[in-house]
Structure 1
């Protein structure tokens, strides 16, 4: 290849990769269309939240208070199914499924089924709770674990008790779920894990109610090691 040919090739390559500087001008219509589409989507989303979701949220919350009263009174059937013209938690979920109230209803409904002894229904609803409240979330996980214990699925029970203890992260619920976790380990004859769990309660939560007689549990598991 001659020097002239080489120089020509380099010049062509440089020209091919040199920015033209007029991309915006050449694609102005496309860019305006994209920006307009994005703005339209934002406007639709805001309108959807303000004029559809927000009113439904208020309605769902207002209708749910009677079911909450029945739940507090442990009248599980009325809490689940409703009474007279007042909806139960199941109808709140069915009618207002995309609201925060319906999400909370999953927790109430799951615990109601747990107390009624309908453990699979309890699991189905409690695991659908997606709230931000760490206390409620921890109780939903703990309730799920309780249901799995009743179904004798101890592997899943231990998994959910661990999740509940971690999620709670406080001196009230965490030692409670750790103690239940230890009992599940004992049921599985995993005395080493049970012993470690009980000792964690003693060391990390010495003032908790669960810690008051935890030495008895530790002595029991150590005797089996």
Structure 2
């Protein structure tokens, strides 16, 4: 009997079939693995949902609490501190330009007529810009009143990026240490004050004081370095007018 191939009939390719079956099996295994992983994740969430929700709740409450604190506690506190600082600072400014300095500095520090003084502002409004500025003013008030340890305590707590106030605070600490006969400590603060900002007012002022203090400590090379820096870099400053006298004096001592 004659045989023939049916139209469209193709003999099976055993290798291709095997490959397809292997691919199908691999894909099936992957999906089953994913299903198992998803199931484990779901189990974890189901078993620990209270903990997870608790953590999320803590984060949300903390964020909300910070916002509420800033908006309804810190912001009004800053504004209130600023108002109180206005009166205390007025007394301080008057003391600077007055002959009755001690009494006015006392009013600035302790307040009057129901208004807070600088010390009250530091205590009641801690963390505000006004409390920080009050540290500076209180330190300078004590310095001018001859209470040098108190001056150092407050000026060391003052923190500012302002080129003038930052340098003046460091220089004020140096002045207080000089009055306490702690010249080595004073020199360190004068050096910091001189290097704090390169301007025509504070830089030569504290270079000069550093030079004088270094001379008293018999550190003549340091003194010459500071005096020569005034002469070379700040020739138009007030300190430069007589700096040659100091340079000559130190050179004669070496």
Give the TM-score range, shorter chain.
Answer: 0.7 to 0.9
Shift in CA distance, 31/69, structure 1 to aligned 2, threshold 3 Å: same
Distance across 2 between alignment mates of 1:42 and 1:166: 41
Shift in CA distance, 218/37, structure 1 to aligned 2, threshold 3 Å: same
Match of 1:167 among 192, 196, 206: 196
Q: Which position in structure 2 is the counterpart of 1:139?
A: 168
List runs of 5+ in structure 1 lacking aligned partners.
1-19
Q: Which position in structure 2 is the counterpart of 1:38?
A: 59
Shift in CA distance, 32/66, structure 1 to aligned 2, threshold 3 Å: same
TM-score of the pair, normalised by structure 2:
0.75
Q: Which position in structure 2 is the counterpart of 1:192?
A: 221
Deviation of residue 39 (structure 1)? 3.5
Q: After superposing the two structures, state which structure 1 stretch, 56-65 or 118-127, moved more.
A: 56-65
> Computing the radius of gyration over CA atoms, which structure comes out larger, 1 or 2?
2
Distance across 1 between alignment mates of 2:157 and 2:169: 9
1:91-110 alignment, distance < 5 Å:
91-110=120-139
1:45-56 alignment, distance < 5 Å:
45-56=66-77
Distance across 1 between alignment mates of 2:91 and 2:201: 26
Shift in CA distance, 33/161, structure 1 to aligned 2, threshold 3 Å: same
Distance across 2 between alignment mates of 1:102 and 1:27: 50
Deviation of residue 98 (structure 1)? 2.1
Shift in CA distance, 27/152, structure 1 to aligned 2, threshold 3 Å: farther
Match of 2:106 among 72, 77, 98: 77
Distance across 2 between alignment mates of 1:180 and 1:31: 62
Q: After superposing the two structures, state which structure 1 stretch, 118-127 or 40-49, moved more.
A: 40-49
Distance across 1 between alignment mates of 2:127 and 2:221: 45
Distance across 1 between alignment mates of 2:246 and 2:112: 45
Shift in CA distance, 140/26, structure 1 to aligned 2, threshold 3 Å: farther
Deviation of residue 93 (structure 1)? 0.9
Residues 100-134 of structure 1: per-residue CA shift (max 9 Å, x gap): 11111000000000000000000011101123323
TM-score of the pair, normalised by structure 1:
0.84
Shift in CA distance, 224/44, structure 1 to aligned 2, threshold 3 Å: same
Q: Which position in structure 2 is the counterpart of 1:176?
A: 205
Distance across 2 between alignment mates of 1:94 and 1:161: 29
RMSD: 2.1
Q: Which position in structure 1 is the counterpart of 2:99?
A: none
Deviation of residue 143 (structure 1)? 0.5
Residues 141-163 of structure 1: per-residue CA shift (max 9 Å, x gap): 11111000100111110111111
Shift in CA distance, 127/25, structure 1 to aligned 2, threshold 3 Å: farther
Q: Which position in structure 2 is the counterpart of 1:211?
A: 240
SS at match of 1:86: coil
